[in-house]
Amino acid sequence: MKNIIIGTAGHVDHGKTALIRALTGIETDRIKEEKKRGITIELGFAYLDLPNGDKAGIIDVPGHEKFVKNMLAGAGGIDLALLVVAADEGFMPQTREHLGILSLLNIPEGLIVVTKKDMVDEDWLEVVCEDIRAEVAGTFLEEAPILAVSSYTGEGIEELKKAIFALIDASSQIKNPNTPFRIPVDRVFSIEGFGTVITGTLIEGQMNVGDPVTIYPKGIETKIRNLQVHSHDVQTAYAGQRVAVNLASLKKTDLDKGDVVAQKDSMHVAMMLDAKMSVLKNCERDIFNGSRLHLYHGARDILCKCVLLDREVASAGDEVYVQLRLEEEIAAKAGDRFILRFYSPVETIGGGVILDSNPLKHKRNDETVLKALELKDKGSEKEKIEEALKEYSPRFETMDYLKIHTNIDSEMFDSIIQILLDEGTVFPINNNVVIHKNFLKSMEQRAEKMLSKYHEENPLRSGMKRDEFRGKLFINQDITVADKMTEYMVADGVLTLPAGAVALASFAIKFSADQEKLMGKLEAVFKDGGYAVPSLDDVAKQFVKEKSFKQVLESLITDGKLIKLTDQIIYHADVYNTALKLAMDFANEHGQISLGEVRDLLGSSRKYTLALLEYWDRKNITKKVGDARTFTGKL
């Protein structure tokens, strides 16, 4: 089923509302001020019955220049445009502005309707039509049919309906129902007994009664109590329909026009947007870097600073990459269209397409940034995903995050990720995080630089302690992420993991003859000390003249030849392993072992026995059960 939204556009008092009334029988001017003044101020809504029994939604937009903001709130969801021109006046300033807006919003199709046919003769009508054809040259309406009608007499209305039906039948627009739903709010009101209701055009996905929703950018969570399409209750609404949504447990004041009602966890909120901006060809103003502008996105109007990324000024007809730095938060997606108007006087100067809905802050005239934006603008889906991975691998963002960020269909995203995995372009950290090989290589280079310095300063240590390595290279990262990256570097031949340490694969300890001799002496001291070794301070006094004492000692500890139980108690590995086996055998036979039983087994004192047991506790080798301990099976 095709769900189509038809939107009118054109100068004030050119008969848009009367045309909709003639087409549908529905009066779209609903507020007293509109009826009093005879002009549309707020958006109006109707529907057109189609031959197959479906209905096409119609949005009646204001034509007066003072209400272009309201026009823009409804224009974003239009699939088919009716550009309305009065036969007695022809093309007018607001007609041109509306045509420019429709073009910038990338409205794909439309018709040109000349109203008030009954007020002019055929010769004048022919002149008006020729002028219209010249005005729309080079736009999406360049070859659109021009149909003349009279909403007063009804002449031409049936022919216009047939032309609309034919355009809808020929339309290839198919909206993906599986993408997360999203509806920009263009009206908020309360109904007694029901509560808060919003209306808008469902631009993506499908929504159901009972679905949880998030109100962006506020982050308010609620659920759908009721849905209406064309004033009828429905269980499900689909993209391309005008929808009224009754939201549970919200006050009217909780929402604003311009908010977005969307599927929970389906959007990001940002204060900046990267975009390609197109300046209208008839724009009479230059846009300078840093200009303050109005940004219109969906039904939202936000002030922003326009940063031109590759020049100082943009003029009529220019297309330029920009970063829009906003004064309020926004919820948008890559691929969304927007309109820009001057801050003062408020007039439309251009618009464009969002390339990145949550970018980092850019420096100007940065070739890397400009190339990345060109890729996001013109690249394939695969290239866009790979670029996102390059940018966000340092943050270890999840694939769920990147799906929202790139706004690429979930199934396509997953299939492209699998291709990149098969190619070796990306590396899996876990089921939801993959990182680009470029980032892996940069991390390898950082690891090499860091360890090279460490080895130079500590030539007798087999490597940097694993915890220290994680903390310095993988700042604020989960231990599983750090270990997975480290494993990759080991497999890539860059690192080795000697006895709980991390070292460059190319590194090897080189002891001098004197240091080799000192190593043997130290091993002998601690081995001969058995379970009642001298304290570290006492050992140090024996070797006070040895300059390499500390380095050689730390090398023996790092290599696992000595086991440091406390700051002062160090066991030789052979002594330690014998004590561990004796205690484990006893515990296996008796179910557990106490401090006194370990002391008796080893013939040691309480001081040494307690140091040994507390070391095992820290390493999770033992577990306290009352006054005794059991072995966990971990070593």
Give per-residue pLDDT as tens, 145-193.
Answer: 999 999 999 999 999 999 999 998 887 767 777 889 999 998 898 888 7
14 Cβ partners below 8 Å, 6+ apart?
A: 63, 84, 85, 86, 89, 92, 95, 115, 116
pLDDT at 2 over 70: yes
pLDDT at 613 over 90: yes
233, two tokens: 């209750």
Crossing angle of the two packed helices 68-75 and 93-104, in degrees rounded to 10: 30
Instruction: For 521-563, give the secondary structure using H, E and C.
Output: HHHHHHHHCCCCCCCHHHHHHHCCCCCCHHHHHHHHHHCCCEE
Contact yes or no for 229/243 (Cβ under 8 A): yes
pLDDT of residue 73: 55
208 Cβ partners below 8 Å, 6+ apart?
A: 224, 227, 235, 236, 237
Mean pLDDT of 592-600: 94
Instruction: For 307-337, give the secondary structure using H, E and C.
Output: EECCCCEECCCCEEEEEEEEEEEEECCCCCE
Which among 225, 222, 223, 177 is positioned nearest to 204, based on CA atoms?
A: 177
Which residues on adjacent β-strands are paired with residue 114? Answer: 85, 148
Nearest-angstrom CA–CA distance, 132 and 572: 96
Nearest-angstrom CA–CA distance, 57 and 45: 7
Percent of the chain with pLDDT strictly greater than 70: 94
pLDDT of residue 345: 82
Residue 420 CA from chain centroid, whole number: 20
Nearest-angstrom CA–CA distance, 86 and 91: 8
Q: In 3-state terms, what secondary structure has residue 256?
A: coil
Backbone torsions φ then ψ of 488, nearest 5 degrees: -60, -45
pLDDT in tens, 54-100: 888 888 765 444 435 555 555 667 888 899 999 999 898 888 888 88
The answer to which of 62-66, 249-253, 485-489 has the lowest mean pLDDT is 62-66
Contact yes or no for 417/382 (Cβ under 8 A): no
pLDDT at 36 over 90: no
The burial class, CB within 10 Å (0-12 / 13-18 / 19+), for 173 is middle
269-279 and 187-191: which strand pairing? unpaired
The answer to which of 175-184, 324-333, 575-584 has the lowest mean pLDDT is 175-184
Task: Using alpha carbons only, give the angle 104, 105, 106 rounded to the nearest 5 degrees.
Answer: 90
Nearest-angstrom CA–CA distance, 608 and 304: 69
Q: In 3-state terms, what secondary structure has residue 48?
A: strand
pLDDT in tens, 334-344: 999 999 998 88
DSSP 42: S
- How many other C-beta atoms can be found within 10 angstroms of the C-beta atom of residue 390? 17
More confident residue, 63 or 306: 306
Which residues on adjacent β-strands are paired with residue 213? Answer: 222, 263
- Please report the domains of the chain, with CATH numbers, ordered by start residue: 5-170 (3.40.50.300), 182-263 (2.40.30.10), 269-367 (2.40.30.10), 379-510 (1.10.10.10), 513-631 (1.10.10.10)
80-86 and 109-115: which strand pairing? parallel
pLDDT of residue 422: 95
pLDDT at 29 over 60: no
CA distances from 537 to 57, 385, 460, 526, 597 (A): 87, 59, 21, 13, 29
145, two tokens: 């049919």
Nearest-angstrom CA–CA distance, 327 and 292: 10
Supply the mean pLDDT for the chain. Answer: 89
Which residues on adjacent β-strands are paired with residue 38? Answer: none
pLDDT of residue 282: 87
pLDDT of residue 71: 53
Cis amide linkage into residue 345, ω under 30° from 0? yes
pLDDT at 105 over 50: yes
pLDDT at 584 over 90: yes
Nearest-angstrom CA–CA distance, 51 and 70: 31
Nearest-angstrom CA–CA distance, 17 and 27: 7
Query: Which of the four pLDDT bands, split at 50, 70 and 90, describes residue 108?
Result: confident
Cis amide linkage into residue 217, ω under 30° from 0? yes
pLDDT of residue 495: 95
Nearest-angstrom CA–CA distance, 416 and 437: 15
Nearest-angstrom CA–CA distance, 175 and 177: 6
187, two tokens: 């009206």
Strands (E), 419-551: 426-430, 433-436, 464-465, 495-496, 501-504
CA distances from 444 to 88, 415, 438 (A): 73, 28, 10
Please name the residue that has the structure tokens 């995050």. Answer: 401
354, two tokens: 């969002």
CA distances from 296 to 101, 160, 308, 526 (A): 11, 31, 18, 76
Give the up-direction half-sphere exposure of residue 382: CA atoms within 13 A in the CB hemisphere: 10
258, two tokens: 């311009």
pLDDT of residue 620: 93
